[in-house]
Structure 1
Amino acid sequence: MDKELMMTWIEEGNLQIPQLLFSKYKKIGLNETELVLLLQVHSFLEKGKDFPTPEELANRMTIPDSICASILGRLLQNKFISIEERYAENNIRYEKYSLKPLWEKLVEELIYDKKQDELEQNLMQETNLYSTFEMEFGRPLSPLECETLAMWLDQDQHNPEVIKAALKESVLSGKLNFRYIDRILFEWKKNGVKTVEQANKHSQKFRGQQRKSTNVTPKSSNTVPFYNWLEQ
C-alpha cells in the first residue's frame, strides 16, 4: 500500500514555480487568492488541461466556482493571464490559458527593481562625490561649482569615480581648481578614458613623456613629475 501511494505521488509530478513569483506577487498587484488560482491554472496546464473551467478550479480551492469565474475575469482584464486560440491537427479551433502575461509582469518588475537599485547607487555615488569635493576644497561648493559637477555627470556622462580621479590628479599637481579638473576630464574624454584604471594609465603615460622631454632625473624615488593639463 505504501508503495502504491509513493508511485501515485511520483506520477503526479512536480510543479515548477518561479521563486520570484512568491517574493513579488504583492508588488505586481496580486493577492493570495489570485495567486493560488493562477497556480491552479498553471498546474492544469502542466497536466495538459489547456482550459480548466471555474468549476474544476473551484474543486481544488476553498471558494465557489462563481468567485473563481469572477477572479478569472479580473485576471484577464488586468493582463495577468490571457486566452490564446490554437488549432488541433484536425483543424479544430480550441482555446488555451496562457500565463505569459504573468511571467512578463515578473520580468518587468525585476527590470524595474534593477533600475531602482542603479538609481539609488548612482545617487549615493553623486552624494559622495559632492562630499569628497567639499572635503578636498575645505569649504562648501558654490552654486556654479555644483552646476559644473552636475554638468560633468549629466551632460558629459563622466563616471563619478573618474571625476574623483581627476580631482586627485589636480590635488597631486597642486592645482586644485575646477578649471584644471575640467581640462583633465576634457583630455581624458578626448582620449577615450572611461575608467579609473584607464585614467591612471593615461596620466602615467604623459608623465613618462614629460620626464623624457625634460631629461629631469628625480632627486629621490619619492619625487613624481606631474603633467600640466592646462598646457595642452
Structure 2
Amino acid sequence: MNWMEDGMTSIPNVLLQNYKRLQIEEKEMMVLLHIYSFTQKGISFPSFEDLAERMTISSSDCAACVKKMIQKQVVAIEQGDQTGYEFYSLKPLWNKIAALFESDARGQSLQQAMTAEKDLYSLFEEEFGRPLSAIECETLALWIDQDEHDPSVIKAALREAVMSMKLNFRYIDRILFEWKKQGIKTVDQAREQGRKFRKPTGTEQVTRSENAVPFYNWLEQ
C-alpha cells in the first residue's frame, strides 16, 4: 500500500525508443528520468544531491550530466514569471523528439516521391518501347518540378495519349496544359473530365452502338 501511495512514474515510450538518436548516454538518461520523476511529484528543481541520493554516481557526476544535457539542448533551466524560482524544463526534449518525427515524415515523403518518379520514368519507357532521350527526361522532370503535376496525373495523361494513339511528348504536354488550365490536379478530377470528353451524343452514339468496341478506361486504378 505504501508503494502504491508513493505513486508511479510514467515514462513515454517515444523517449525510451529515441534517446539514442538524441545522443543521450545511459548515465544521462537515468539522471533525466530522475528529474522527470521529481517533477511529477511537484519537485521542479531537485538538487544534484537529491539526484545522487537515488543513483550510484556522485552529485558532481550528476551536475556534469545535467550540464551536458543542457549543451545538447535536451534540458533547460528556466525561471518562474512571478516568483523567479528556477526549475528544470523538459520542453527542449519533447521538441527534439517532435523534430525527429517531422524529419522522419519528410524523409518518408521524399522517398515515396522518388519512388513514384522512378516508376513514372519506367512506365514511359515501357509505353514508348525505348529509353527516353535526354530532352524527354528533362521534359518529364519539368512537368514534376516546374509545373508541379502529380506523378499520378502525368501517368493518367500518358494513358490518354496511348488510348488516342498519339504517343508523343507534345501531345501529353498539351493534355497536361489543358488539365492545369481547368484546375485538374488529381486522377479523380481527370477521370471526371474524361467522362465528359467521351460522352457520346446524337449520331455519334448511334454509330458507336452499331460498331461497339471494348473501351478501356485508363483512369481506373
The TM-score with structure 1 as length reference comes to: 0.87
Against the structure 1 CA distance between its residues 221 and 30, is the aligned structure 2 distance closer, same or farther, given a 3 Å change threshold?
Answer: farther
Match of 1:8 among 2, 19, 43: 2
- Provide closer, same or farther for how the CA distance between residues 33 and 187 of structure 1 changes in structure 2, counting only shifts above 3 A: same
Secondary structure of 2:87's counterpart equals strand
1:58: which partner in 2? 52
Per-residue deviation at 1:37? 1.3
What TM-score results when the alignment is normalised by the length of structure 2? 0.91
1:176 paired with 2:167, answer: yes
Superposed counterparts of 1:205-216, under 5 Å? 205-208=196-199, 211-212=200-201, 215-216=204-205
Task: Show structure 1 runs of 4+ deviating over 6 A.
Answer: none
Q: 2:135 aligns with which of 136, 144, 153?
A: 144
Among all aligned residue pairs of Structure 1 and Structure 2, give the percentage whose two residues are the same amino acid: 49
For 2:213 and 2:43, locate their aligned partners in 1 and report how far apart those are by CA, in whole Å. Answer: 77
Change (3 A) 1:75 1:212: same
Cα deviation for residue 153 of structure 1 reads 0.5
1:95-128: CA deviation from partner (whole Å, max 9, x where unpaired): 1111000000000111000000000111111111
Residue 167 of structure 1: aligned partner? 158
SS in 2 for 1:59: helix
Superposition map of 1:1-232 within 5 A: 7-86=1-80, 92-208=83-199, 211-212=200-201, 215-217=204-206, 218=208, 219-222=210-213, 224=215
SS of residue in 2 equivalent to 1:84: strand
1:229 corresponding residue in structure 2: none
On the 8 A contact 2:24/2:69 being kept in 1, the answer is: no
Q: Are the equivalent residues in 2 in contact too, given 1:207–1:225 (CA < 8 A)? A: no
Equivalent position amino acid for 1:185 in 2: L
Q: CA deviation at 1:30?
A: 1.2
Aligned length: 215
- Distance in 2 (alpha carbons) for counterparts of 1:113 and 1:221: 52
Cα distance in 2 between the residues matched to 1:105 and 1:162: 37
SS of residue in 2 equivalent to 1:194: coil
Question: Runs of 5+ in structure 2 lacking a partner?
Answer: none
The CA distance in 1 between the partners of 2:165 and 2:115, in whole Å, is 28
Tell me the distance in 2 between the aligned counterparts of 1:183 and 1:92.
Answer: 68
- Whether the 8 Å CA contact 1:165–1:196 is kept in 2: the answer is yes
Separation in structure 1 between the aligned mates of residue 177 and residue 14 of structure 2, nearest angstrom:
44
